[in-house]
Amino acid sequence: MPETGIGKKKFLFVSWESLSGDLSYQCKKEGHEVKIWIKEEGDKDVYEGFLDRVDDWQKHVDWADVIVFDDTNFGEKADKLRKQGKLVVGGSVYTDRLEDDREFGQDEMRRVGIHTLPSHDFEKFDDAIAFVRNNPDRYVFKPSGTISSEQKGLLFIGEDEDGKDLIEVMAHNKAVWSKKITKFQLQKYEQGVEIAVGAFFNGSDFILPINVNLEHKRLFPGEIGPFTGEMGTLMYWSAPNEIFRMTLAKMKESLAAAKYVGYVDVNCIATGKAIYPLEFTCRFGYPTISIQLEGIQTPAGEFLYRMAKGEQFQLKTKRGFQIGVVVAVPPFPYNDKQVFSTYKDSSILFKKGGVEGIHLGDVKLVDGDWHLAGMSGYVLVITGTGTTVEEARKQAYSRLKNIFIQNMFYRTDIGVRWQDDSDKLQTWGYLY
């Protein structure tokens, strides 16, 4: 039986691609029954041996006590199931649009009184080039609308104060990019500390404490290289602070009107003048949820079930900091079946035994051994915790040294910039 007060429950996880296996597996380890559906054909062997995979999730709706949608674009189905009385975590038509449509997300921020950076939406590159020429400034280029994770990687942060580098990039790439991107946004660049605040939402209110996190999105240490989605994160749990009050807290009524249940996060640029929210994440983050599991002491199945029921409760969390480091192999962060075929099915070796702080990426269990699965090269998330950032880093990287995977790579600097960033944030008064 699970070590919770809710008894044994049945969880059905629904996913476009292999994302929430680590959360699913945690529920299973707590004694719950778990089934998972993944649409992506290339992920058909991911979680094999760890979880019970099904071919048609809709056939198991009546079986499930809780249905968990782990990504966007399930909103219509999630809303319908909630109206039918099912307990559902994740997804709503409103929050899908909030994340996927940058223009709508920014409009909603302004509607509820959140201060935003000037942004301009375009469908034609020639129009955007003309705009920058007529309005010279430093901008960030962001693909918008419903796009793939790879297309999100086309984000470009201009460095020239007059926007000339952005003009060059758009002019030389418009023929190619126009085939991939139908909408995009130019947002005024602001120098500051990039930081996010998030919280779980139970359909009517936020569940405390909030989560404060700093993502490391580029492939190489020192914020060099392509955007990957995320290579690692530093986080901690907190009472509501000024960043939360100025941003996410103002979305409460809108989220409640949508009856959204799940995690919601807003990424921001903090400066000495203001907090500028950039974009919403209205789903579990990856590897964010794995790192959160390192710091949440409430059993995963319990908080998912109680959140889906609309209960108001407080998460039990560890004090201090949590660190998560993504471990990958080629071709990550890109998709290339031929490259990954070199690594597929290879064993993951644990030098000293034990898998404390080791979280599932695209892996499978065969005859008691962990193996690489799928086709992404996104293998594991390694976590650590401590009363200080340095303690959390030490534990995470110590655990990482216990792992051997041929040609694995990871960032060595997760959390390093916290000392400087936290000084700025505290001086500006945002962490109180």
Give the model's pLDDT for residue 4.
Answer: 54
pLDDT confidence bin for 1, thresholds 50/70/90:
very low
Lowest mean pLDDT among 5-14, 260-269, 310-319, 347-356: 347-356
Higher pLDDT, 351 or 231: 231
For residues 274-281, give the mean pLDDT: 93
Determine how many CB atoms are found less than 10 A away from the CB of residue 387: 11
Report the share of the chain in percent with pLDDT over 70. Answer: 97
DSSP assignment, residue 73? S
For residues 2-15, give the mean pLDDT: 85
The yes-or-no verdict on residue 149 having pLDDT over 80 is no
The yes-or-no verdict on residue 302 having pLDDT over 80 is yes
Determine how many CB atoms are found less than 10 A away from the CB of residue 227: 19
pLDDT confidence bin for 74, thresholds 50/70/90:
very high
pLDDT confidence bin for 3, thresholds 50/70/90:
very low
CA 232 to chain centre: 10
For residues 292-303, give the mean pLDDT: 98
Give the model's pLDDT for residue 179.
Answer: 86
- The single residue listed with the structure tokens 């990482």 is 400
pLDDT confidence bin for 155, thresholds 50/70/90:
confident
Give the model's pLDDT for residue 373.
Answer: 97
Question: Rounded to the nearest 5°, which phi and psi values hold at 399?
Answer: -65, -35
Per-residue pLDDT tens over the stretch 160-219: 999 999 999 999 998 889 888 888 999 999 999 999 999 999 999 999 999 999 999 999
Task: Report the distance separating Cα 109 and Cα 426, nearest Å.
Answer: 24
pTM over 0.85: yes
Give the model's pLDDT for residue 2.
Answer: 44
Q: Which of 376, 390, 399, 397 is nearest to 42 (CA)?
A: 376
Per-residue pLDDT tens over the stretch 47-57: 999 999 999 99
The yes-or-no verdict on residue 393 having pLDDT over 80 is yes
pLDDT confidence bin for 294, thresholds 50/70/90:
very high
Give the model's pLDDT for residue 165.
Answer: 94
Domains and their CATH numbers in the chain: 10-98 (3.40.50.20), 118-188 (3.30.1490.20), 193-427 (3.30.470.20)
The yes-or-no verdict on residue 147 having pLDDT over 60 is no
3-state secondary structure of 2: coil
Per-residue pLDDT tens over the stretch 308-345: 999 999 999 999 999 999 999 999 998 889 999 999 99
pLDDT confidence bin for 145, thresholds 50/70/90:
low
pLDDT confidence bin for 103, thresholds 50/70/90:
confident
Give the model's pLDDT for residue 417.
Answer: 94
Going through 30-151 in order, the beta strands assigned E by DSSP cover 33-38, 52-53, 66-69, 87-89, 119-122, 139-143
Long-range contacts of 100-108 (CB under 8 A, 24+ apart): 100/72, 100/73, 100/145, 100/146, 100/147, 101/144, 101/145, 101/146, 102/142, 102/144, 102/145, 102/185, 102/279, 103/144, 103/183, 103/185, 105/279, 105/280, 108/251, 108/254
- Cis bond upstream, residue 143 (ω within 30): no
Give the model's pLDDT for residue 181.
Answer: 87
How many C-alpha atoms does 154 have within 13 Å on its Cβ side? 24
For residues 296-318, give the mean pLDDT: 98
The yes-or-no verdict on residue 418 having pLDDT over 50 is yes
For residues 235-259, give the mean pLDDT: 97
Task: Report the distance separating Cα 358 and Cα 372, nearest Å.
Answer: 14
